[in-house]
Chain A
Amino acid sequence: KQEVTQIPAALSVPEGENLVLNCSFTDSAIYNLQWFRQDPGKGLTSLLLIQSSQREQTSGRLNASLDKSSGRSTLYIAASQPGDSATYLCAVHSGGSNYKLTFGKGTLLTVNP
């Protein structure tokens, strides 16, 4: 059974700092991995999707990497801003035609002005 772990559970940084969020998964036979952002009281917003054949994806100040063999993904946020404060979740699609996602419990990021 796929298990997804995110470390740290919470992170507080000053504005402008570059930071890395970590995601690890136990079964490397994945189809793709997604990073999401969740604001309080809101749904999840998809940030980046990395296919199993890719090593990284970039969108603006965000860069996500994937190392399938070691079961790890990182989300790099450059020049963090207070508006980046949210919970970040990673989710793994564990292969096959049935679209089953396993989520990590998330990292609560606070960017202080």
Chain B
Amino acid sequence: EAQVTQNPRYLITVTGKKLTVTCSQNMNHEYMSWYRQDPGLGLRQIYYSMNVEVTDKGDVPEGYKVSRKEKRNFPLILESPSPNQTSLYFCASSLGQGPSPLHFGNGTRLTVT
């Protein structure tokens, strides 16, 4: 089944403790992206990647890192999480060439205390 898989679904951590949220897609998509969703602010793009080893900042990249060493994986890294990074995070992917729909994972709810 074609899908975007994020792990974990839920994560509670403390300020400053490094964490990684994994994202994997099995559709051979070139484009992958991370979003955060907050009440009243909607979905905002954090980082995106057009292909392996090619990443770029979205609208709210501060406090986040990403890497794209393999086509299927696009992990989101929080080196020193802070409470303002408490949010619902989504990974998404698409073919990236021409008009192609975006496929989303089921989300990771992160709480930083």
Contact = CB atoms under 8 A, between A and B. Distances in A.
A46 interface: yes
Contacts of A81: none
B63 to A, nearest CB: 20
| Interface size range on B against A | 20 to 34
A61 B4 CA distance: 26
A10 to B, nearest CB: 13
Tell me if A's interface is mostly helix, strand, loop or mixed.
strand
Given A43-B90, A89-B43, A99 B104 contact: no
A103 interface: yes
Interface in A26-64: 31-32, 34, 36, 41-46, 49, 51
A100 B58 contact: yes
A46 B105 contact: no
A105 B42 CA distance: 5
Contacts of B102: 34, 36, 44, 46, 91, 101
B56 interface: yes
A51 B99 contact: yes
Interface string B67-90: 000000000000000000000001
Tell me if B's interface is mostly helix, strand, loop or mixed.
strand
A106 B107 CA distance: 17
Interface string B13-56: 00000000000000000010101000011111100101000001
A42 B107 contact: yes
Interface in A88-110: 89, 91, 93, 97-101, 103-106
A41 B90 CA distance: 11
A35 to B, nearest CB: 10
B33 A99 contact: yes
Contacts of B61: none
Contacts of A106: 42
Contacts of A51: 99
Interface of A: 31-32, 34, 36, 41-46, 49, 51, 89, 91, 93, 97-101, 103-106
Given A43-B104, A44-B102, 13 more contacts: A32-B99, A43-B4, A44-B43, A44-B92, A44-B104, A46-B102, A46-B103, A89-B43, A99-B33, A100-B45, A103-B42, A105-B40, A105-B42
